[in-house]
Chains A and B, each alone.
Chain A
């Protein structure tokens, strides 16, 4: 299949997928035995106040009507108001998205910088001691509960050694927000203190988040290299006397990376799911922590906004991965 038609196919299904996602979350939010209006109005609200809230949020209308109203609002960029922050959801999401993006990007960077070279080495020296050690490490990295790992890091590096901050994103005043990414903003502002603080806050959550992703990258890269190293094209180049280093670091690496890129969607899934937990443990003011808090507080508009945002992000990332793959593999997305 032509990669253009593949992209088109994804775009066509973008809206129905998001609608379906909304329908699922909406249904969920309305089968609860608790009256959302009660929650929104607060514990000490009178009957009249509750009724007012009910009318204001449209909870008195039939469910299909509520859903259609909601879809119409969303289409106009209005996700409703959070019952707890009393802010438009769009604002809440917009202020928290950069924090999650920053954390995720740093984690991807760590995972790639560590995972790719190690994966190549393991693939080249299959069944060496390095391969065996890293196999244990990667299998373990995928078996650790990230919230527990995060707590152990906090215990060791913050509580016992005092080297790194326990939680949060910044001490003192944050730099002037330009991109929303603290590290970048601190660089723009030329604020060395803020930069150091941002980086120090970043280390533990980013490492926690990167651990399973790095393990996945190592495994895919390793298996990619092994698959290529035994291929006829490498046998041909060896027979023709190409230098070993040219074969490995030019031809094999490119092939192995193509195999890893096809799994980028999966890796982002791991990161997005990880962010939900890691942000909660480290009090990182991103989307994940926002989602958990909204869910625990039955803040339905916020939950739906978050789900929609994540779904859109995910579909978008998969689209990017497809295009990236088409760009680096001349055979096209097969």
Chain B
């Protein structure tokens, strides 16, 4: 495969893929990889706030739990949360964008106006407001993120669809009597898939950052959920003594987002020739 070869030659994209691979392995095998799998819920006051040592690679937290073990389980939460949130945002946003872009009517205008209203304030502000209103839980964080993220997809797909609408092959399909449904699914969607796929990867990174921010502000899952943002928030009052406390989750977030961004950039280079970084 030519595409795979080109991707493999891009070192940065390969690094991204490796980071994502490690993340997925950590998420799947967390119970086996973690030295203290029960530390997600258990606490041991006698071992609290220990610096990194062979028996606790990344130290222990305020409850005496092993930070490394909690980090591995946190990968599960992070991936699941961002995956479902971005997935549902796509499920809402893509059809709206397609329909609004295909049919030029007052209705599609109105749809896009609603999307723009959401885009008029930073996503994080609306997400905080929704998450706070619904109460702290993982489901509500997911809901808050999807509800505030779909307009981005609607606008993207809308713009792409509109430019496709004027392409000769689409017009000729319409002229030949193809049903709108058929034109959208068979002619337009495959041609706008590349930018959607590329941005899904980068969007995963952005969503993980936003989700971590919600966790940091105390709007995510309640303790003792091993959510990375919340772990960092907990560590604040133990600085500067427990320097290791925030270090590991922060680096975990960084590497995860980095992985998705590099992977997305690499995908863009092979899938989306218009914006390709030239050699």
Q: Which residues of A contact B (CB under 8 A)?
A: 13, 16-18, 20-21, 24-25, 28-29, 31-33, 135, 139-140, 142-149, 151-152, 154-155, 159-160, 223, 226, 269, 272-273, 276-277, 280, 291-292, 295-296, 298, 303, 306-307, 310-311, 314-315
User: With A143-B258, A303-B129 in contact, is A17–B232 under 8 Å at CB?
Assistant: no
State whether the Cβ of B193 lies closer than 8 Å to any Cβ in chain A: no
Q: Is the CB of A314 within 8 A of B120?
A: yes
- A291 proximity list for chain B (CB < 8 A): 125, 128
> Which of B29-37, B160-168, B180-188, B235-243 interfaces with chain A?
B235-243
- B123 proximity list for chain A (CB < 8 A): 273
Q: Identify 7 new A-B residue pairs, CB closer than 8 A, beyond the known A31-B133, A147-B213.
A: A21-B121, A24-B117, A28-B133, A135-B12, A139-B12, A272-B122, A273-B123
- A21 proximity list for chain B (CB < 8 A): 117, 120-121
State whether the Cβ of B218 lies closer than 8 Å to any Cβ in chain A: yes
User: With A17-B116, A280-B217, A296-B217 in contact, is A29–B133 under 8 Å at CB?
Assistant: yes
User: With A20-B113, A20-B114 in contact, is A311–B120 under 8 Å at CB?
Assistant: yes
Would you give the shortest CB distance from A269 to chain B, in whole angstroms? 6
A303 to B130, CA, bound (A): 11
- The winner among B122, B239, B246 for most chain A CB atoms within 10 A is B122
B interface secondary structure, majority: helix
A74 to B12, CA, bound (A): 51
Q: Which of B215-255 contact A (CB under 8 A)?
A: 216-219, 229, 232, 235-236, 239-240, 243, 246, 249-250, 253-255
- A315 proximity list for chain B (CB < 8 A): 120
State whether the Cβ of B257 lies closer than 8 Å to any Cβ in chain A: yes
Q: Is the CB of B129 within 8 A of A307?
A: yes
Q: Is the CB of A151 within 8 A of B124?
A: no
- B116 proximity list for chain A (CB < 8 A): 13, 17
- Give 30 pairs: A residue, B residue, CB < 8 Å, sorted on A: A17-B113, A18-B120, A21-B117, A24-B118, A32-B133, A140-B254, A143-B205, A143-B255, A143-B261, A144-B257, A145-B209, A145-B212, A145-B229, A145-B232, A145-B250, A147-B213, A148-B253, A152-B246, A154-B239, A159-B239, A159-B240, A273-B122, A277-B216, A280-B217, A295-B129, A295-B132, A296-B132, A296-B217, A303-B129, A310-B121
A2 to B239, CA, bound (A): 56
The chain A residue with its CB closest to the CB of B265 is A139
Would you give the shortest CB distance from A22 to chain B, in whole angstroms? 10
A295 to B214, CA, bound (A): 12
A280 to B219, CA, bound (A): 14
- A17 proximity list for chain B (CB < 8 A): 113, 116-117, 120
A29 to B133, CA, bound (A): 7
- A33 proximity list for chain B (CB < 8 A): 135
Q: Is the CB of B129 within 8 A of A152?
A: no
User: With A140-B254, A145-B232 in contact, is A311–B218 under 8 Å at CB?
Assistant: no
The chain B residue with its CB closest to the CB of A24 is B117
- A25 proximity list for chain B (CB < 8 A): 129
The proximity string for B residues 108-142 relative to A, scoring 1 for CB distances below 8 Å and 0 otherwise, is: 00000110111011111110111011010000000
The proximity string for B residues 149-177 relative to A, scoring 1 for CB distances below 8 Å and 0 otherwise, is: 00000000000000000000000000000
The chain B residue with its CB closest to the CB of A29 is B133
Would you give the shortest CB distance from A39 to chain B, in whole angstroms? 12
- A314 proximity list for chain B (CB < 8 A): 120-122
- B114 proximity list for chain A (CB < 8 A): 20
A1 to B254, CA, bound (A): 42
- Residue in contact with A142 in the complex, picked from B128, B229, B261, CB distance below 8 Å: B261
Q: Is the CB of B122 within 8 A of A269?
A: yes
Would you give the shortest CB distance from A71 to chain B, in whole angstroms? 15
State whether the Cβ of B278 lies closer than 8 Å to any Cβ in chain A: yes
State whether the Cβ of B89 lies closer than 8 Å to any Cβ in chain A: no
A311 to B123, CA, bound (A): 11
Would you give the shortest CB distance from B268 to chain A, in whole angstroms? 12
Q: Which of B257-271 contact A (CB under 8 A)?
A: 257-258, 261-262, 265
Q: Is the CB of B240 within 8 A of A160?
A: yes
- B135 proximity list for chain A (CB < 8 A): 33
A315 to B122, CA, bound (A): 12
A229 to B130, CA, bound (A): 46
Q: Which of B76-114 contact A (CB under 8 A)?
A: 113-114
The chain B residue with its CB closest to the CB of A14 is B120
A9 to B126, CA, bound (A): 25
Q: Is the CB of A143 within 8 A of B236?
A: no
Q: Is the CB of A276 within 8 A of B128?
A: yes
- The winner among A29, A143, A155, A280 for most chain B CB atoms within 10 A is A143
- Residue in contact with B213 in the complex, picked from A29, A145, A151, CB distance below 8 Å: A145
